[in-house]
Structure 1
Amino acid sequence: MKFYNREKELEKLKSIDLLSSKKAQMTLIMGRRRVGKTELVKRFLDKNKEGIYFFVGRKKAKALLEEYTAILAEKFPTLVTPFRNFSEFFKYIFEISKEKKITIVFDEFQNFKFIDNSVFSTIQSLWDAEKNRARINLILVGSLITLMEKIFAGSHEPLFGRATQKIYLEPFDINTVQTILEDFNLKTFTDLLNFYTIFGGIPKYYESLEYEIESNKRSFLEIVHDLFLRKDSLLRNEGFDLLIEEFGKNYQTYFSLLQIIAGGSTKMSEISSRIGIPITALSRFLENLNKTFRLIDRREPIFSSFSRLGRYYLNDNLLTFWFRYIFRFRSLLEIGRERKVLDFIKKDIKVLQGLVFEEIVKQRLLSEDTRGKFIFEIDGIGKFWDRVGHEIDLVAYNQKEKKVFFGECKISPGKINRKCISDLKTKSAFVPWMKGERKEYYGVITIGKIRPGLKRTFEKENFIVWEF
């Protein structure tokens, strides 16, 4: 698969590289696994001839040092004797950097914790002593976010405060995903919704999709079966592969929580009831999933500050899909009942896609706003709900102009009728923001075409219609 849309990150790496010509730079690149960190640094190194890439594999220190010696010897042929320890290795690198500018990348840097914990103190000592003389561009890439945060943000850790730059690599936005799918000749909005629902914006999963498409023309559900449900499927154990190490000994509790939330229980009381943990004890686990592991978001109704109305959602589409269907039905999958699980997915996935559709629309509205195509400049956008069950899929507003847009998102145009107008106006009356002063706009967003007569009725009543 070709390289997509990391221009900002590449530009930042280039500017950091220029800075390293005068003074040592230490850059952290972090992000979830499969998000494209390695591809980013390799693309950067393609145009940086002084760059050297080291992968920190979990092997014995002696074997890793022999590997690193061989890599350095290709650049510096006078190096013939293997390093006896990591102290010698890093001293050699810093000595070179005093003679010539050099870029060094360590991928999966956090793995040094399991190989030789003294590496961090060694780097700290050399950095503090040589940073003003060395012309080194040190790029440290990590996937275990909790461990990387501890190494660099823990106040008692040797490398605390040493990083000069930090890049957190985010998943692709919906526009980039659409470009990828169009390159695969998947050009409909339904294609976009289908694959964004199961992959989100993670590049690596679209590589798997490219192979599926090239090897055979398959339907969406056949691709789901091939990638997730078979015993040898590439993504069947993806949740375990991504998270077991992050969670450690508490993984069973965290996995259960993620399954419950992915399944649709998003209120604290619902989650507590389902898992059997009192709310007082549950809050610590949810806080960790939110702040430490960055896997869930706590969302509030728009126009509300922190309140008891908050709901919890996974912020990773693939993990939402995996916990909702694969982890939940792992017993059925173990005994080969793949078709039964696939039948359930076929019936249920519209519920999940409804939530993803709202997120896509939100991204698109913000994108339209930046191009000046929306009805007003958006200051804030979100979802509204209250204690008594009133819920509006999409609310956007402009504070200065006192304008607000209320929208309903419907995957199926067949579910749209005149009642949508009256229902939306009724629910909007419960939104307290600038009541009596605001100018209100209403709309419906769907996939496909609504009936022409109904569309004309909506337009007569100034009810905006977006058809994707």
Structure 2
Amino acid sequence: MKFYNREQELELLAHTRDIAFKNHSQMTVLTGRRRIGKTKLILKNCENTPTVYLFVRRSNEATICAQFAAIASRALNTYIPSEITSFVSLFETLMTAGQQTHFNLIVDEFQEFFYINPSIYSGIQDVWDRYKDRTHIHFIASGSVYTLMHRIFMEYKEPLYGRGDSMIKLKPFPTTVLKQILSDYHPGYTNDDLLALYTITGGVPKYIEFLLDNGYFTMEAMIDAIIQENSIFLEEGNILLIQEFGKKYGNYYAILSAIASGRNTASEISTSIGNSSVGGLLQRLEEDYEVIAKKRPILSKEATQNVRYEITDHFLRFWFRYIVKYQDFVQAGLFSKLAEIIKADYPTYSGFTLESYFREQLKEKQIYKNIGGWWETSKGKNIDQNEIDIVAISAESEKVFIAEVKRHRKNFKPARFQQKVEVMRSKLFFNYVIETACLTLEDM
């Protein structure tokens, strides 16, 4: 797949590199989940400039230093002794070289030093502080385990706190880029194809590349590709989350499975997993790991108890809903049967991600200061509660856009929707100009 998007990130990286090469060394910290395209972005930025690229694997420090010395020697066309057994010594050698040579120094999966030798970070701090003002290196520390990268660079007590001159957290592709990519690969795509790509990949570049490079353009083809023996997707969620959670992942998995199945309030989650003390776990999933997010009715106070939780990563939501839930099918090799289950449930499931798609689309317009949904707590099981899918408040005037989302317009009930809008107007927006719409697949 060709290189798409990332114009802002490339501009920031180029600007930081220019400062490093012209004035003095600069440090960029780049984070983002696995498969998000960090390495591709870095290498694109470093094209046609001297670059030392080091990928950190969990290994013996002396062994990786010998490998790194050889890589650096070739990249800089200079002699670096292979007998160096300490990364801090190698780092100082490279910083010394930066007094005469201007170059990019990339250390990919930087958080892995935590498992090799945590004292490396304090050593890097010492060397960096002594050399940065008299050298010309753009040092890029990249990592995919967010919790560790945040700890290394953002926690006050850590040695590298405050050392990053630029901080980039790489996000999935926006909806406009998804359209562009799918159009390039499959000009005759339908909006259902676009929704399937968004629902399954969430805009993660590597997943998109795998599906489209192999000609999987429709919902059916995408699901068949994912649900097959030896598919990279079957273990992808485990690889992503065990990196973050470590060995104590059982309760977190149970919570994420509950949310993916629609049990998304604290009480429902607590009942589902048989644990009355989920508050701390939910807080860590939200604040430390950033895997889930709270949803409150728009304009409600932060202290409200009317809270729902959602998994922020679309692929993980899909993975928990189907691959974790039906793990017995996977273990038994019943891939075609599982694919049939997913395809049958897809129209219902994709309705939720269609809401998410339109919210993202509204955010990308950059004309709304607050985008969310609104609902009132039901007082009985048979009460049709007032709930509105999308509410977007203008950033410039007292205007609000209110929409209901349906896959197909035939399922829209205008009279009932207008009743809900009037309830909401009376409670929140009586002085606002209100625009309403029903958004469907046709509007993508």
What's the TM-score, normalizing by structure 2? 0.93
- Post-superposition offset of 1:11: 0.7
How far apart in 2 are the matches of 1:14 and 1:401? 37
Residue aligning to 2:381: none
- SS of aligned partner of 2:333: coil
The residue that corresponds to 2:294 in the other structure is 298
3-state SS of 1:98 partner:
coil
Partner of 2:415: 422
2:25 equivalent in structure 1: 24
AA in 2 matched with 1:226 = A
Tell me, in whole angstroms, the C-alpha distance in 1 between the residues paired with 2:429 and 2:243: 50
Aligned letter for 1:383?
A: G
1:225 deviates by 2.4
Deviation at residue 438 of structure 1 after TM alignment: 2.7
Distance 1:446 1:358, change over 3 A: same
Tell whether the 8 Å contact from 2:65 to 2:82 is kept in structure 1 after alignment.
no
Residue pair 1:87, 1:119 contacting (<8 A) in 2 also: yes
Deviation at 1:121, TM superposition (A): 1.7
**30-39 or 427-436: which moved more?**
427-436
Q: Distance in 2 between matches of 1:133 and 1:258?
A: 49
CA distance in 2, matches of 1:34, 1:226: 18
Quick one: which of 380, 383, 386 aligns to 2:376?
A: 386
Counterparts of 1:134-283 in structure 2, within 5 Å, are: 134-185=135-186, 187-213=189-215, 219-227=218-226, 229-278=227-276, 281-283=277-279
Q: Between Structure 1 and Structure 2, how many residues are aligned? A: 433
Q: Which amino acid aligns with 2:261?
A: G
CA distance in 1, matches of 2:181, 2:219: 16
CA contact (8 A) 1:231 1:334 kept: no
In 2 relative to 1, CA 439–69 (structure 1 residues): closer, same or farther, beyond 3 Å? closer
Output the CA distance in 2 between the equivalents of 1:172 and 1:63.
37
> Measured at CA, do residues 399 and 142 of structure 1 come closer, stay the same or move farther in structure 2, by a change above 3 Å?
closer
Deviates more, 1:35-44 or 1:55-64: 55-64
How many angstroms does 1:405 deviate by? 2.6
Structure 1 length-normalised TM: 0.88
Q: Residue 253 of structure 2 aligns to a residue in which SS?
A: helix
Other-structure match for 2:97: 96
Q: What is the deviation of 1:204?
A: 0.3
1:2 maps to which residue?
Answer: 2
Residues 212 and 223 in structure 1, CA contact (< 8 A), matched pair in contact too: no
Decide whether the 8 Å contact of 2:70 with 2:82 is kept in 1. Answer: no
Partner of 2:124: 123
1:355 aligns with 2:352: yes
In structure 2, the gaps of 5 or more residues are 379-384
Q: Which residue of 2 aligns with 1:47?
A: 48
Question: Helix, strand or coil for the counterpart of 2:2?
Answer: coil
1:463 maps to: none
Partner deviation per Cα, 1:77-96 (whole Å, 9 max, x = no partner)? 33354313223211211111
CA distance in 2, matches of 1:238, 1:284: 26
C-alpha distance in 1 between matches for 2:259 and 2:346 = 15
What do you get for the CA RMSD once the two structures are aligned? 1.9
Report the secondary structure of 2:173's partner residue.
Answer: coil
Change (3 A) 1:113 1:291: same
Measure how far apart 1:157 and its partner are.
2.0
Structure 2 contact 63–85 (Cα < 8 Å) conserved: no
User: In the alignment, which residue of structure 2 is the partner of 1:12?
Assistant: 12
2:34 aligned counterpart, secondary structure? coil
Instruction: List aligned pairs for 1:359-438, cutoff 5 A.
Output: 359-367=356-364, 369=365, 377-388=367-378, 389-398=385-394, 401-416=397-412, 420-431=413-424, 432=426, 434-438=428-432
1:287 aligns with 2:287: no
Q: 1:156 to 1:366 in 2, by over 3 A?
A: closer
Partner of 1:439: 433
Determine whether 1:64 maps to 2:61: no
SS in structure 1 at match of 2:59? coil
The C-alpha deviation readout for 1:90-140, integer Å capped at 9, x for no partner, is 121111112232220000011111222221121111112222222221110
Within 1, Cα distance between the matches of 2:402 and 2:5?
32
**Structure 1, unpaired ranges of 5+:** 371-376, 449-466
8 Å Cα contact 2:270/2:278 also seen in 1: yes
Per-residue CA deviation, residues 135-171 of structure 1 (Å, 9 max, x unaligned), is 2211100011111111122332221222222111111
- Aligned-residue offset at 1:358: 1.1
Shifted more, 312-321 versus 162-171: the winner is 162-171
- Paired residue secondary structure (2:403): strand
